[in-house]
Amino acid sequence: MGSDGQLRIGVLVDSTGREEALYLPEKILTVWRYKRALQSKADHCLEETKELLRHVPQPTPLPPTAQSLFAHLRAARAPGLWHLLQLLEEIGATEEALGVLRRWADRSTKLLREARGLERRYFGHRDWFYRNVALELCRRYRHLAVTTTEDLPVTAGQEPEGGHTQPQGAATYRQLAAFSRFLVFLQETAAKTGTEVVKGHWPQYGVTLTNRSEVFADPVQRGES
C-alpha cells in the first residue's frame, strides 16, 4: 500500500471469527482524490474571482439583478457568477469586471469538465470492481449474511473501531465506497448463482459481511508489519 492510504469497504467474518478485509483498489482512491483536488481548485478560483470583483469598478448602468449580485458577492456561488456574466454580456459591458468573469468562467469550465470526467471514470471502475467481488463471494459461499454497523450491538463507552479515531472527512470516503451500491451487485449476482443473501445478524449462516468502512493511513493501522 502507498502512503496515500487505503479504503476498507467491508469485512468478512466466518463462524470461527476469522476476518478477511475487502479494500477498494488504491487506483480508484487516487483518481477520486485528484478529482477532489480539482474541485478545491475550482472553489479557490471562485473565491479569488469574487475578491477581484469587489475591487474593480462596476459597469454602469447596471440592471437591478446585477446590482444585487455585486452587492452580495461574498455569498455568491458559481451559478450567481454565471448569471452576472450573462447580464454583463447582455448589456454589452466592456469594463474590467467582464474580463475577470470571463477568465473565471474559462478556468472553472476546464476544471469542472475534467473533474466530471474523472468522476465517471472512478465510478465505472468501482462498479466493475464491485461486480467482480460480488461474483467471487457468490461462488465461494452458498449462504451469506450482510450486516451494517447499525446492526451490530454497541456497548456504552465503546471506543471507535480499531482503537483510533476516524480521519477528518471519513464520511466522504464512505460515500465513495457506497456499500449500498455494492449490495445491489451482490443481490443481482446472488439471484443468478443461487446464493442466499440475508440482511441482519445471522450467526448460523457461518459467514457475515459487514460494511465496516474505514480509512487506514499507514500499514501499521492495518496490523501489518
DSSP result, 5-59: -EEEEEEEEETT--EEEEEE-HHHHHHHHHHHHHHHHHHHHHHHHHHHHTTSPPP
Residues 6+ apart with CB under 8 A from 141: 195, 206, 207
The residues, ordered by sequence, that sit 6+ positions from 76 with a Cβ below 8 Å of its Cβ are 50, 69, 84
| Residuewise pLDDT in 10s, the chain (225 residues) | 333 467 888 888 887 778 888 888 889 989 999 999 999 999 999 999 999 999 998 887 888 999 999 999 999 999 999 999 999 999 888 789 999 999 999 999 999 999 999 999 999 999 999 999 999 999 998 888 888 765 444 333 333 343 333 444 556 777 788 888 999 999 999 999 999 988 877 666 668 888 776 654 423 233 332
- The H or E element containing residue 104 is helix 96-140
Query: Helix (H, G, I), strand (E, B), or coil: what is residue 178?
Result: coil
Task: Indicate if the alpha-carbon torsion angle 195, 197, 202, 208 is positive or negative.
Answer: positive
